[in-house]
Amino acid sequence: MGRIRPNVLITGTPGTGKTTTATALAEATQLRHVNIGDLVKEKNLHDGWDDQFDCHVINEDLVCDELEDSMEAGGVIVDYHGCDFFPERWFDRVVVLQTENSILYDRLSKRGYTGPKLSNNIECEIFQVLLEEAKESYPEGIVVAMKSDSVDDITRNVAELTDWISSWGSRPNQNDNMCD
């Protein structure tokens, strides 16, 4: 692989704290944080707008092309609500944030989510769609689910991930389990 610093994917249903966690982790570790939603807007890496879900339709190939060089170099935290289109070789840790449904409902409602967008995201969390997607897309040893209901959870998650990143280079097998 040849990377000096690991790459981390932080995924989960919208509202689970991906960007908050990724930002705090980047500050703690000096890794580069890439918010895919922002990247798509900044670089025009989309195929238009989805009126039903009030978001851009990302062009996954363009996103992967844009990120390829920096991901190969390492030291990147990627923050996105999907994960199955990223190349498996890119990530050393895949974190799936999970939030209790009533807390998630409140967070998404405060963001202005309504109708199909709200119900689709709540159902996604109830059925653990993103955890299953991560487990199907990446080796078992690198996928970890983390509770993200509160600021305390986020603080604890950032501390655990910071410790993992700090010790990453010294491991004989860098795909070990952090949590079960």
The annotated binding site for ATP is made up of: 15, 17-20, 111
Closest CA to 65 of 82, 50, 87, 91: 87
Q: What gap in Å lies between CA 19 and CA 6, rounded to an integer?
A: 18
- Binding site, by residue number, is 15, 17-20, 111
Structure tokens at 89: 């070789």
Q: What gap in Å lies between CA 59 and CA 47, rounded to an integer?
A: 6
Q: Could you write out the DSSP letters of every residue in 108-176?
A: HHHTT--HHHHHHHHHHHHTTHHHHHHHHHS-GGGEEEEE-SSHHHHHHHHHHHHHHHHHHTT-SSTT-
Cα dist. 69→43, 76, 107 in Å?
16, 11, 35
